[in-house]
Amino acid sequence: MRHLLIALAMAALSGLAPAQGRELPPMMYLTSLNLDSLLESLKQKPEFARLNGELIGSPLRLVVSHEFEMTAGGSAAGLTSAMLAGGSLGLLPVVTNNDLVITYDIRVHNRSVSKYRFRENFTEAKNIYANQGNTALAKEAAAWVLTTVDPFLEQMNADPKVAELLEEYRFYFGDQPQP
């Protein structure tokens, strides 16, 4: 009897085991970043081999967004720097100090299943006359964004909500890859 209970407990826990290395179903990829190398980096991982930015209407989505959050020191430095840059008619750069927050959001029918956030602090000096565009990141920040892929996969593979999503998907659609 004792062995039966242990076997049942092991079977129950194996259903919650992470889906490490298992290919996820086809998912639509959406991002606020102007960074094609992020999609390429994700598609190189076996979990996201079928990730595609053109799967319009797909109920499964991976949404990668970014935002800059001001720090207390960054607010003071930014204000002082902006006044100095304006006073020098743009000869001095504007120095900003913000946290770049990258969020990976797995969504089903536009409802969030799991979110993973990564944060790093960056200081930049920008000329007020230079226009980088709204979604352009500095090279250092873009390189850091690419380093978030592996920690994201580790957290996602250990997430029981994602394992449950995969089990439900396989229950209805089987384990065979869809074209």
For position 96, what pLDDT does the model report? 82
Quick: pLDDT tens for 116-155.
999 999 988 888 777 655 557 888 999 999 999 999 999 9
Classify 84 as helix, strand or coil. helix
Q: Are 166 and 22 in contact (CB under 8 A)?
A: yes
Overall residue count recorded for the chain in this entry: 179
Closest CA to 98 of 78, 79, 118, 128: 78
Given this model, what pLDDT does residue 141 score? 93
CATH of the domain at 29: 3.30.160
Residues ≥6 apart with Cβ < 8 Å to 46: 21, 22, 23
- Structural domain harbouring 101: 20-171
| 67-78 residue pLDDT tens | 999 887 777 777
Residue 106 has pLDDT above 80, yes or no: yes
Asked if residue 12 is part of any domain, the answer here is no
- Domain for residue 145, yes or no? yes
Domain assignment present for 11: no
Residue 55 resides in a domain: yes
| Mean pLDDT of the region 143-168 | 95
* pLDDT above 90: residue 97: no
- Of the candidates 67, 62, 64, 41, the residue with the CA atom closest to the CA atom of residue 119: 67
**How many folded domains does the chain comprise?**
1
Mean pLDDT, range 57-66, rounded to an integer: 94
Chain-centroid distance, C-alpha 1: 46
